[in-house]
Amino acid sequence: MSRSGRRSGENSYEKAVEELNSFAVVPQLVLFNPEGVFWESNSGADVVPYPEVPGILSALRFKGVRIGVVAHTQQPYLTSTALSRLTHESFSPMISYGQEAEIVNALQEARRQTGINFADILYFDEKIAFTRAANNLGMTSHRLRGGLTLKHFEKGLQAFLDHHFDDRGF
């Protein structure tokens, strides 16, 4: 990695930690569909993460937030390999599904595996149908284009906070 790439990753980590610290409530679990969020869609085996992704993931782990993956993929092994190269850590839950119609089942399985209520989960995806499915289950979701950035991260956290307080009557 280039020297400027390292600085960008470190900078995104520090900014993401600051962002998390600025919110009164943060999700217990953040789920991602990695294609289009962590790296470009249809990248195959040679994925290159978007620059701010490693720092954001590290900040979530540092703050004790669980991180999971619900991957829409026909090649779960390639996704798993790419994820392990991205962070050198495991994701829990890590659920793969092949058909788009299976998104609701996959999200329900993530909830079942973790025991975390839908209201305490934040989900990031590039596909509007998937973010709507997550919202319909009671999750907060954030649709993004062009990869996970600090700006998208902040918007997702803000949506989670708004949803959290709306549901609880504050």
Residue 161: per-residue pLDDT: 94
In this predicted model, what pLDDT tens digit does every residue of 13-67 receive, in sequence order? 999 999 999 998 999 999 999 988 998 876 666 778 899 999 999 999 999 999 9
Residue 1: per-residue pLDDT: 34
4 Cβ contact list (under 8 Å, min separation 6): none
Q: What is the 3-state secondary structure (H, E, C) of the chain?
A: CCHHHHHHHHHHHHHHHHHHHCCCCCCCEEEECCECCCECCCCCCCCCCCCCHHHHHHHHHHCCCEEEEEEECCCHHHHHHHHHHHHCCCCCCEEEECCHHHHHHHHHHHHHHHCCCHHHEEEEECCHHHHHHHHHHCCEEEECCCCCCHHHHHHHHHHHHHHHHHHCCC
Residue 44: per-residue pLDDT: 62
Higher pLDDT, 1 or 98: 98
pTM: 0.88
Task: For domain 3-167, give the CATH number.
Answer: 3.40.50.1000
In this predicted model, what pLDDT tens digit does every residue of 64-122 receive, in sequence order? 999 999 988 777 777 888 888 777 667 887 888 877 779 999 999 999 999 999 999 99
Residue 6: per-residue pLDDT: 42
Is the Cβ–Cβ distance between 156 and 140 less than 8 Å? yes
Residue 160: per-residue pLDDT: 96
Residue 131 pLDDT more than 60?
A: yes
Give the residue extent of every domain in the chain.
3-167
Average pLDDT over residues 142-159: 96
Residue 2: per-residue pLDDT: 33
R_g of the chain computed on alpha carbons: 15
CA gap 32, 46 in Å, rounded: 19
